[in-house]
Amino acid sequence: MKKRNFLFQGLLVLVLVAIGAVMMVIGRGHTVYFDNRSLEYNGTNYDSLYKIEVYLGGSAEGEAVARLYDQERGMATQVGQSMTLTLVITPEDGGEEADPATYTIDLPYNMDGIVINLPAYLEGLPEEAYLTEFVPLVTEEPEEEIDLGGDMGLGDF
């Protein structure tokens, strides 16, 4: 009986650890920044496009998360390890909009903020060229005073 209980408890721990591991993968959140900027890679210059409309998901329906003209940056949040987005591209001013195209981009687990250079990505450059980590600017802050309580519960419940 004791052995069976021990086995059951061990199994329960394993199941919980497994669920935890799955949650860590499927729930990892990223902030993704889309750049429509020119880029130089291996001596070749890749120009920005006139306009890129970014839609999350597999179709260009609904509201675009970003409408990027030359040198502009957009932002979206994504939970999970990959991002599917649909792009509607207008290569030149006055030119015709291309048909919507859907792409799936893998997002590195260890990055909170990810910058994707869309012209580089669309040119088929390697990940190191189109994907960089977004590092927020560190600002000097005054020391925060710690509030350890002691108000005898006048707060809201």
Partner 1 sequence: MKKKQRGTFNLGRLLQNNIVPIMFLGICIVCFPLSGRSPAYLLNELVTRLGRNTFLVLSLLIPVMAGMGMNFAMTLGAMAGQIGLILVADWQIWGIPGIILAMIVSIPISILLGVFCGSMLNKAKGREMITSYIIAFFMTGVYQLVVLFMMGPIIPIAHDSLKLSRGFGIRNTVSLLNMRQALDNLLAINVMGVKIPVLTFLIIGVLCLVIIWFRRTKLGQDMRAVAQDMEVARDAGINVDRTRVLAIVISTVVAGFGMIIYLQNMGNFSTYNAHSQIGMFSIAALLVGGASVEKASIGNAFLGVILFHMMFIMAPDAATTITGDSMIGEYFRTFVSYGVITVALIMYETRKRRNRSQTGYLLALAQKEEEARGK
- Residues at the site binding partner 1, with contacts judged by CB under 8 A: 16, 19-20, 22-24, 26-30, 77, 79, 112, 138, 141-149, 151-157
The dihedral through the CA atoms of 35, 48, 123, 68 has a sign that is: positive
37: Cα separation from own chain's centroid: 18
Q: What φ, ψ does residue 40 adopt, rounded to 5°? A: -110, 125
Nearest residue (CB) to partner 1, 20 versus 62: 20
Nearest residue (CB) to partner 1, 19 versus 101: 19
* First CA to last CA distance, the chain: 44
d(CA 135, CA 20): 28
Least spacing, CB of residue 133 vs partner 1, in Å: 13
d(CA 57, CA 68): 17
Least spacing, CB of residue 87 vs partner 1, in Å: 24
Least spacing, CB of residue 29 vs partner 1, in Å: 4
Least spacing, CB of residue 72 vs partner 1, in Å: 25
Nearest residue (CB) to partner 1, 7 versus 24: 24
d(CA 25, CA 106): 13
Nearest residue (CB) to partner 1, 7 versus 23: 23
